[in-house]
């Protein structure tokens, strides 16, 4: 399983529960930690989708519940923003001791502010990304506005947030007052990616501008246009994860050679968890990707289907083979397009076409050439296309030897 339940201790010895998600080959090129939003948990759909997008690009991702939330121990009423930052430091220590020190921090909403403070305390972190983050932790007070008079009077209040009651104590508010994010950013010298929606009604877009102005270069901003604060639309959270992974690779060392991996030239690994439907994590050579099935058959269409992948191999191999042959002959082909599709069709010479047994696996391949070639040369190109290695493999007698890995 690439999704593992992990437990580590916070600074007070309480158990924090997380999920460590690994790419298909279980050897991530970098580890990331995800900090969820205020009163959320590690299992928020957006958190899971962003983590999935990161692992699909070769990252290992640890998402966990802050103290007093979700499955983690502790009383939320006794926590504060500083405690969230310390929880992130504890998570980084866990990864360092058991796997590899994290190099990327990702934070959503108040978790975004927390990763900025935590980045200053975790030396291994080389890049961080925020999503819908406030420009100062004290911004969270507007969510608590209804209970602030009672908190000031009695020291605590029960406040309903997103349909759930939480006890907020005065020490929580006092702690926020002493945290200056602009001051922290002015000292931070690490690449920062800021993602924010112009339509965010919980944390307004001006917060992103204030973070950007306070931060040092290299810094980047990406608009999550049309998204709500919680990225409740699956496409928004998956997009955010893809953007973060692509951006972060510019600032991280990508370790594609691992001594513990098999040294085969063509190593492909596919990994599918129980609750992932057909969305399958894959490592193809040194490249990470997703395979899936179309929505109409129960998939999410996050990636090509298995037969589309086979067709892709035939198309790519055909294009490479033809160009290689043409160059050797001194023929200039400005461009070659190979269009391939798969189906089960009736054999050309079938005697009983009504029988299912008369159908065979059929790859339909069409080639478009941008070249000044005569008819004889074009005919030769068609012959060469049939000689590409993948074409030969599909026509030859093959075997698949399958064993279980203990």
User: Which tens digit of pLDDT belongs to each residue from 242-252?
Assistant: 999 999 999 99
CA–CA separation, 2 and 25 (whole Å): 8
User: Which residues make up the CATH 3.30.300.20 domain(s) of the chain?
Assistant: 306-395
Strand arrangement of the beta sheet that strand 59-64 belongs to: 3-9, 15-21, 59-64, 30-35, 104-108, 127-131, 192-196, 219-223
pLDDT-based confidence at 138, cuts 50/70/90? confident
CA angle 377, 379, 384 (to 5 degrees): 90
What gap in Å lies between CA 9 and CA 394, rounded to an integer? 53
- Nearest of 275, 381, 265, 404 to residue 328 by alpha carbon: 381
Q: How far is CA 288 from CA 57, 60, 169, 242, in A?
A: 5, 12, 46, 12
Span(s) in the chain for CATH 3.40.50.1820: 3-135+179-248
Whether 271 contacts 288, CB under 8 Å: no
Query: How many helices and strands in the chain, by DSSP H and E?
Result: 11, 15
What's CA 401's distance to the chain center, in Å?
A: 32
What is the CATH code of the structural domain delimited by 306-395? 3.30.300.20
Say how far apart CA 79 and CA 69 lie, in whole Å. 10
pLDDT in tens, 42-75: 999 999 999 999 998 999 999 999 999 999 999 9
> How many CB atoms are closer than 10 A to CB 160?
10
CA distance 318 to 310: 12
Total length of the chain: 406
pLDDT digits (tens, 9 = 90+) for 324-340: 999 999 999 999 999 99
- Location of structure tokens 């070769």: 58
Say what the pTM is: 0.78
Contacts 24+ apart (CB under 8 A), 277-284: 279/52, 279/303, 280/24, 281/2, 281/23, 281/24, 281/55, 281/56, 282/24, 283/23, 283/24, 283/25, 283/58
Return the pLDDT at 259: 40
Phi, psi angles (nearest 5°) of residue 319: -60, -45
| Rounded Cα gap, residues 164 and 27, in angstroms | 39
Residue 35's DSSP bridge partners are: 107
Output the pLDDT for position 166. Answer: 78
pLDDT at 355 over 60: no
Measuring CA to CA, which residue among 250, 284, 274, 263 is closest to residue 103?
Answer: 250
1 confidence band (pLDDT: 50, 70, 90): very low
In angstroms, the CA 291 to CA 279 distance is 6
Q: For residues 208 and 222, what is the distance between their CA atoms, to the nearest angstrom? A: 10
Strands 104-108 and 359-371: unpaired
Collapse the DSSP code of 320 into the 3-class scheme (helix H, G, I; strand E, B; otherwise coil) and give the result.
Answer: helix
Contacts of residue 392, defined as CB under 8 A and 6 or more positions apart, other chains included, come to none
Secondary-structure class of domain 3-135+179-248 per CATH:
alpha beta
Q: How far apart are CA 86 and CA 329, in angstroms?
A: 66
Whether 314 has a pLDDT exceeding 60, the answer reads: yes
pLDDT above 90: percentage of residues in the chain: 63
**Which residues, at least 6 apart from 319, have a Cβ–Cβ distance to it below 8 Å?**
336, 337, 338
Please report the sign of the dihedral spanned by the C-alpha atoms of residue 377, residue 378, residue 383, residue 386.
positive
**DSSP 3-state of 105:** strand
State residue 259 phi and psi, 5-degree precision: -60, -30
User: Is residue 146 over pLDDT 90?
Assistant: no
CA distances from 49 to 21, 154, 197, 244 (A): 11, 40, 17, 12
- Give φ, ψ of 197 to 5 degrees: -95, 135
Min mean pLDDT across 90-94, 263-267, 308-312, 316-320 is at 263-267
Alpha-carbon gap, residue 181 to 201, rounded angstroms: 21
């Amino acid at each position: 399983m690439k999704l593992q339940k992990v437990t580590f201790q916070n600074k007070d010895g309480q158990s924090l529960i997380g999920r460590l998600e690994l790419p298909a080959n279980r050897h991530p090129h970098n580890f990331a930690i995800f900090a969820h939003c205020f009163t959320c948990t590690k299992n928020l759909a957006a958190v899971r989708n962003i983590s999935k997008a990161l692992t699909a690009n070769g990252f290992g991702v640890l998402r966990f519940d802050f103290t007093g939330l979700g499955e983690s121990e502790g009383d939320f009423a006794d926590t504060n923003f500083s405690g969230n930052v310390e929880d992130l430091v504890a998570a980084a220590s866990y990864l360092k001791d058991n796997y590899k020190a994290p190099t990327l921090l990702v934070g959503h909403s108040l978790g975004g502010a927390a990763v900025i403070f935590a980045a200053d305390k975790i030396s291994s972190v080389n890049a961080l990304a925020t999503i819908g983050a406030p420009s100062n932790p004290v911004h969270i007070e507007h969510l608590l506005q209804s209970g602030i008079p009672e908190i000031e009077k009695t020291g605590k209040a029960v406040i309903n947030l997103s349909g759930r009651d939480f006890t907020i104590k005065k020490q929580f508010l006092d702690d926020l007052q002493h945290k200056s994010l602009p001051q922290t950013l002015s000292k931070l010298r690490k690449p920062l990616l800021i993602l924010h929606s112009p339509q965010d009604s919980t944390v307004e877009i001006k917060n992103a501008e204030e973070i950007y102005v306070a931060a040092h270069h290299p810094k980047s901003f990406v608009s999550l246009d049309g998204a709500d604060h919680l990225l409740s639309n699956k496409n928004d959270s998956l997009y955010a994860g893809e953007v973060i992974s692509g951006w972060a690779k510019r600032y991280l060392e990508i370790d594609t050679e691992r001594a513990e991996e098999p040294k085969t030239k063509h190593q492909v690994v596919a990994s599918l968890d129980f609750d992932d439907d057909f969305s399958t994590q894959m490592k193809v050579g040194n490249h990470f990707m997703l395979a899936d099935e179309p929505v109409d058959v129960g998939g999410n269409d996050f990636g090509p289907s298995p037969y589309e992948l086979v067709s892709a191999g035939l198309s790519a191999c055909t294009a490479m083979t033809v160009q290689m042959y043409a160059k050797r002959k001194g023929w200039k082909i400005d461009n070659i397009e190979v269009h391939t599709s798969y189906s089960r069709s009736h054999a050309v010479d079938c005697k009983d076409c009504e029988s299912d047994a008369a159908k065979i696996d059929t790859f339909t391949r069409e080639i478009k050439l941008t070249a000044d070639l005569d008819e004889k040369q074009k005919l030769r190109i068609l012959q060469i296309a049939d000689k590409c290695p993948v074409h030969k493999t599909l026509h030859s007698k093959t075997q698949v030897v399958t064993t279980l890995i203990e």
